[in-house]
Amino acid sequence: MVSHIQQSARSPKPVGSSEAPEGASALGRLPREAAGSAVLILQVFVILLFVVPSNTTIATIGAVGFPAGLVGMLAAGLYLAWTLCGFHRSSDHRYPTKVVLITLWLTSLASYVSSQFRERSVLEVSGADRWLLMLISITGVALLAAEGLRDREALMRVLRTTVWAGSFCALVAVLQFWLSFDFSPLIGQSLPGFTYDSDIGGIQMRGAFNRVPGTTLHPIELGAGAAMLLPLAIAVAALDKHRPAWVRGIPILLLGLCLPMSVSRSAVVAFAVMLVFLLAQVGLNLRLALLAVTPLAVVAIFVGVPGFMTTIGNFFLGAGTDPSVTTRTDDYGVVVEMVLRRPLLGAGGGTYLPDDPLLILDNTYLKWVVEFGVVGLLVLVVFVMVLPVMAAVTIRRRAQDAHYTLIAAALSASLAAAAVTPLTFDALAFPTVTFLQFLLIGLVGAVWRLGLRPNPDVFPAVAGGPGSPFIPQPEVPVDTLNVYSALRRNGALVLTILVAMVVAVGAVFVFVKPSYTVTSTLLMMPPRPAPSDSQYVLNPDLVGVNSDNPYTRMYDPLTMFGVLATRVTSHDGRAQIEKVGGSREFEVDQVVRYGNTTPFAEVTARASTPEQAATTNRLVIRTLNRTLAQLQRREGASPRYFITTVVVKEPRASAARTNGVSKVVLGIIGLGIFLMFAAVGVGDAVRAARTRTGRPGTPV
């Protein structure tokens, strides 16, 4: 197949070779030193994204604290620093996919603000904050990819690294499938300072075959990611003619193998959509190669793994009765009911956290309309899913360089696959495919900038001079050395802010005591029904038992939770908990989901140590049960007909969350960095103003 791919890229048309310096090859490759530091950051990001399992995190930060997510936050911080220092003008970079990030941020912030006006549980607050942190990270990656790549060689370096890093994930999946051994824990547990969550991920079984995730969280995520990476692998193989054919074929082989090994309908659908988009846009030679190789690959799988293709086929033929499909379709009525309560902006990003596993929405679009409302759903469909695909197709049609046309075709196919997979699983809740999708959205912006350079002979309406809505004006390179020079020029200001940061962090450690939070969940169980006449006959002892429990006659029996919470959290109740060795800092909250009360309650306890927080939580549960029994006994009800509680989530010290010393320190550092670069920007502006007025000097 690679030999066919070598002939697929059409010879570039002479368009002035604006990129190629003297001494460049006939293919227009640029020297390696032309790429900026943004390339290195993006390369590190994609390596961590596909090599390190996503369930390897820093416990104090939470789910967003996995290595690739942290690099994304670093990218966002550096982008902000470059912009504040004046070394990068975002307004000079105009490309359609920037609208994706703008609309996504506006929708997320509007939904976040609207959610503040309703009662939210602790988990919902954490989920909303986690979504904003994730949004910061994916924004940093997308912007750095869109605006930080200077030339075609920088773009190709990022694409190569992405393809080969994804191939490593595919290799792990292939080994998992054939050896039935999971290598992910060996990688995740080897990172110092990080925690590997063994409860997430792992090899599953479907039919008689292993269903493998590679280094992702779930086999469906692996299949979707492989379908998104395969067009990029094909494009890189077609363009890297200076490399041996067998080397370029390795990523295609590994990604093609791991895609069916996910044993997922989503992967098959994503592959089909990707293949249609790719075939419709590539050259004749590559189209013929794809049409020839795809059936051969299916036959090879059929012969090499007996029964495998039959298993895949049965998943589609039996989809009407498959529980994994029917549970998805049963969600529609529940979703409509929830959307009608908050139709415009939804309940807030990251707040849909159902206690019942059957209510988990395996459909990104359904979950999105619940969390962000109808407005958010329109933004997701039009701007996040459709616009990047259309932008890539536009580049494919308008670009004059065959390299950019092939890359744009591959990006459009990858993003088309990314747009269809959310129909079958909650794609944006899985970090690998989410970050990969926004990296590709950023790369569409980069190809738009680089591939549609002004050329009056080709695009007279587009190359209309300054202010063109399509083509960026002369750009300021992104380089970390510029930032370092700016910090040195404004040393006094930077040193002052650094000293203030150190003093503030020291004050936090001295005056703010660390606190730990442990949560548990209770389920209120209704009493058994009153005995019938036949039961009285069979068991005469029931005649003297009082089955009339007055608390069951309340309009809302769950009001009992409110009664109990009021008693236990009173001054006397807290004093009683403290007297037996607990902490006074605890809360009892009834779980509210989208305005509806549920039979669940959350007990949240805070203390100076994880053990004391867990002990306090258990004491509160014990007090709740004792108070509940006393209230019912006082009304003469028999214990046989008591309302009771069941602990569905045990309080554990090992699951304690730190509350704020680490978060406060991170906040101080983040604020200090922001002030530092803002001061640098002001200092350089003052220096420039003095130079223009003939008053050279240093800023105060």
In a shared domain, residues 459 and 592 = no
Q: How much is the average pLDDT of 396-418?
A: 92
Q: Report pLDDT digits (tens) over 591-626.
A: 655 445 567 788 888 887 888 888 898 999 998 888
- pLDDT-derived band at 47 (thresholds 50, 70, 90) equals very high
User: How far apart are alpha carbons 406 and 396 in whole angstroms?
Assistant: 7
Q: What is the pLDDT of residue 156?
A: 93
In a shared domain, residues 477 and 345 = yes
Q: What is the pLDDT of residue 432?
A: 92
Question: Integer distance in angstroms from the first to the last C-alpha of the chain?
Answer: 65
pTM: 0.69
In a shared domain, residues 385 and 520 = no
Cα 386 from chain centre: 19
**Which structure tokens are listed for 31?**
């020297």
Q: What is the pLDDT of residue 257?
A: 86
Q: How much is the average pLDDT of 29-53?
A: 74
In a shared domain, residues 686 and 642 = no
CB 278, CB 410: distance < 8 Å: yes
In a shared domain, residues 410 and 550 = no
In a shared domain, residues 545 and 414 = no
Q: What is the pLDDT of residue 33?
A: 35
Q: How much is the average pLDDT of 510-526?
A: 78
- CATH number of the domain enclosing 636: 3.30.70.1130
In a shared domain, residues 524 and 421 = no
Q: Say if 328 falls within a structural domain.
A: yes
Q: Say if 29 falls within a structural domain.
A: no
User: How far apart are alpha carbons 278 and 345 in whole angstroms?
Assistant: 36
Least confident piece of the model among 129-143, 197-211, 253-267, 359-373: 197-211
Q: Note down the domain range covering 646.
A: 513-658
- pLDDT-derived band at 472 (thresholds 50, 70, 90) equals very low
User: How far apart are alpha carbons 549 and 680 in whole angstroms?
Assistant: 71
**Which structure tokens are listed for 134?**
């994730």
Judge whether residue 547 has pLDDT over 90. Answer: no
Q: Is 581 helix (H, G, I), strand (E, B) or coil?
A: coil
User: How far apart are alpha carbons 372 and 497 in whole angstroms?
Assistant: 39
User: How far apart are alpha carbons 613 and 129 in whole angstroms?
Assistant: 23
Question: At 604, which helix (H) or strand (E)?
Answer: strand 596-607
Instruction: Give the chain's mean pLDDT.
Output: 76
Q: What is the pLDDT of residue 9?
A: 43
Q: Say if 146 falls within a structural domain.
A: yes
Sign of the torsion formed by the C-alpha atoms of 158, 164, 167 and 172: negative
Q: Report pLDDT digits (tens) over 428-438.
A: 888 999 999 99
Q: What is the pLDDT of residue 418?
A: 93
In a shared domain, residues 293 and 408 = yes
Q: How many CA atoms lie within 13 A of 510 on its CB side?
A: 6
Least confident piece of the model among 97-111, 460-474, 508-522: 460-474
Judge whether residue 657 has pLDDT over 50. Answer: yes
Q: Report pLDDT digits (tens) over 561-581.
A: 777 888 888 888 888 888 888
Q: Say if 255 falls within a structural domain.
A: yes
In a shared domain, residues 676 and 631 = no
Judge whether residue 275 has pLDDT over 70. Answer: yes
Q: How much is the average pLDDT of 101-109?
A: 90
What are the Cα distances from residue 242, in Å, to 26, 33, 237, 312, 403? 11, 18, 10, 38, 14
Q: Report pLDDT digits (tens) over 144-168.
A: 999 888 888 889 999 999 999 999 9
In a shared domain, residues 443 and 326 = yes
Q: Say if 31 falls within a structural domain.
A: no
Judge whether residue 197 has pLDDT over 80. Answer: no
Q: What is the pLDDT of residue 72?
A: 92
What are the Cα distances from residue 142, in Å, to 68, 155, 409, 435? 13, 13, 19, 9
Q: What is the pLDDT of residue 645?
A: 83
Q: Say if 501 falls within a structural domain.
A: yes
In a shared domain, residues 639 and 667 = no
Least confident piece of the model among 180-194, 316-330, 381-395, 660-674: 316-330
Please count the structural domains in the chain.
3
pLDDT above 70 covers what percent of the chain? 71
- pLDDT-derived band at 26 (thresholds 50, 70, 90) equals very low
- pLDDT-derived band at 553 (thresholds 50, 70, 90) equals low
Q: How much is the average pLDDT of 230-249?
A: 90
What are the Cα distances from residue 498, in Å, to 52, 198, 487, 495, 677? 33, 39, 12, 5, 12
- pLDDT-derived band at 250 (thresholds 50, 70, 90) equals very high
**Bridge partners, 646 (sequence order):** 523
Q: What is the pLDDT of residue 482?
A: 59
Q: Say if 112 falls within a structural domain.
A: yes
User: How far apart are alpha carbons 598 and 486 in whole angstroms?
Assistant: 56
CB 605, CB 614: distance < 8 Å: yes
Q: What is the pLDDT of residue 330?
A: 63
In a shared domain, residues 534 and 609 = yes
Judge whether residue 477 has pLDDT over 50. Answer: no
Least confident piece of the model among 137-151, 357-371, 450-464, 504-518: 450-464
Q: What is the pLDDT of residue 5?
A: 45
Q: What is the pLDDT of residue 605?
A: 87
Rounded to whole angstroms, the maximal C-alpha distance in the chain is 108
